[in-house]
Amino acid sequence: MQQLQVLHIYGNYSSILSRLDRRFQYIEIRRAFTVFQLMTLLEEARHSVIIIEHDPMLHEDAMGMIDLASQSMSDASKEVVVLLYLPGTVYVPGGSDQKCRSGILLR
């Protein structure tokens, strides 16, 4: 059976990295400080699962790049499983008062 090769990408801070099982051997951890670095990591990735931990500061100075980053994630999800993790409380769109912990699986 083939082992899952996992790539975990995060920006300035990871809220889940310290909680990962240290015995897990097939994970590569990379940091992306800019949208361009995120897009490059996605393009070069040769993993079966990519976990992207959203960092709002990554997009702070590059709001015009969000569509390109989204397209890169969508393109990567055509070949591998991509999980976009949004740490913290996120308000549900549509004017709802509901809140949720969020993760988005792209296929």
> Could you state, in order of their start, the residue ranges of all structural domains in the chain?
6-106
User: Quick one: tokens of 9?
Assistant: 């990408």
Higher pLDDT, 39 or 66: 39
Q: Report d(CA 46, CA 49) in Å as an integer.
A: 9
pLDDT tens digits, one per residue of 3-36:
789 999 998 888 888 877 777 778 899 999 888 8
User: Quick one: tokens of 66?
Assistant: 């969000």
Residue whose token pair is 């992207």: 52
Burial of residue 52 (number of CB atoms within 10 Å: 0-12, 13-18, 19+): buried
Neighbours of 84 (CB within 10 A): 18
| pTM over cut 0.85 | no
